[in-house]
Amino acid sequence: MSLLVVENATRRFGSLVAVDAVSMSVAPGELRAIIGPNGAGKTTFFNLISGFFPPTSGRILFSGTDVTRLSPERRVGMGMARTFQITEIFPELTARENLRIAVEVASGLRRSPWLRGHANAQIRERIEVLLDMGGLTPKADRLVGELPHGDQRTAEIMMALALKPRLLLLDEPTAGMGDQETHDITQLIRKLHKDQQLTIVLIEHDMRVVFHLADRITVLAEGAVLGEGTPNEIARDERVQAAYLGKAA
Partner 1 sequence: MKRVPAVAWTGLIWLVLLTMPYWMRAVGGYTELASRVLVLGLAAMSLNFLLGFTGVLSFGHAAYFGLGAYGAAMTIKYIAPSTPLGILVGVATGTLAAMVIGALIARLRGVYFAMVTIAFGQVFYFIAFRWNSVTGGDDGVTGWKRQALDLGLAKIDLLGNDKAFYYFILACFAIAVTLMWLLLRSPFGRTLLAIRENERRARFLGVPVERHIWLSFVISCCFVSLAGTLYALLNNFTDPRALRWDQSGNFVIMAVLGGMRSFWGPLIGAAIFVVLQDYVSSHTENWMSFIGLFFVLVVLFFPRGVLGILRRKGMA
Question: Looking at 111, 118, 138, 249, which residue binds partner 1 (CB under 8 A)?
Answer: 111
Query: Does 163 contact partner 1 by CB under 8 A?
Result: yes
Of 34-42, 72-80, 181-189, 224-232, which segment contacts partner 1 by CB under 8 A?
A: 72-80
Give the closest residue to 217 by CA, choosing from 201, 207, 231.
231
Between 102 and 234, name the residue whose CB sits nearer to partner 1: 102
> Does the protein bind partner 1 through residue 115 (CB under 8 A)?
yes
Asked if 117 touches partner 1 (CB under 8 A), the answer is: no
Query: Which residue from 113, 117, 118, 249 is in contact with partner 1, where contact means CB under 8 A?
Result: 113
Residue 143 contacts partner 1 per CB under 8 A: no
Element spanning 198, H or E: none
Q: How far is the CB of 43 from partner 1 (least distance, A)?
A: 13
Report the b/e string of 187-211 with b at 16+ CB within 10 A: ebbeebbeeeebbbbbbbebbebbb
Sheet order of strands, 31-35 included: 80-82, 167-171, 199-203, 31-35, 216-221, 224-229
Q: How far is the CB of 205 from partner 1 (least distance, A)?
A: 22
Q: Which stretch binds partner 1 (CB under 8 A): 156-164, 173-181, 193-201, 224-232?
A: 156-164
Q: Per rule CB under 8 A, is residue 93 in the interface with partner 1?
A: yes
Among 11, 32, 42, 82, binds partner 1 (CB under 8 A): 82
212 three-state secondary structure: helix
125 binds partner 1 (CB under 8 A): no
Judge contact between 230 and 33, C-beta under 8 A. Answer: no
Q: Which stretch binds partner 1 (CB under 8 A): 12-20, 104-112, 178-186, 239-247?
A: 104-112
Q: Which among 214, 212, 241 is positioned nearest to 226, based on CA atoms? A: 241
Coil, strand or helix at 237: coil
Q: Is 101 in the site for partner 1 (CB under 8 A)?
A: yes
Query: Is residue 11 at the binding interface for partner 1, with CB under 8 A as the rule?
Result: no
E strands in the chain: 4-13, 16-26, 31-35, 57-62, 65-66, 80-82, 167-171, 199-203, 216-221, 224-229
Three-class secondary structure of residue 35 per DSSP: strand
- The binding site for partner 1 (CB under 8 A) comprises 50, 71-73, 76-77, 81-82, 84, 88-93, 97, 100-102, 104-106, 109-115, 156, 159-160, 162-163
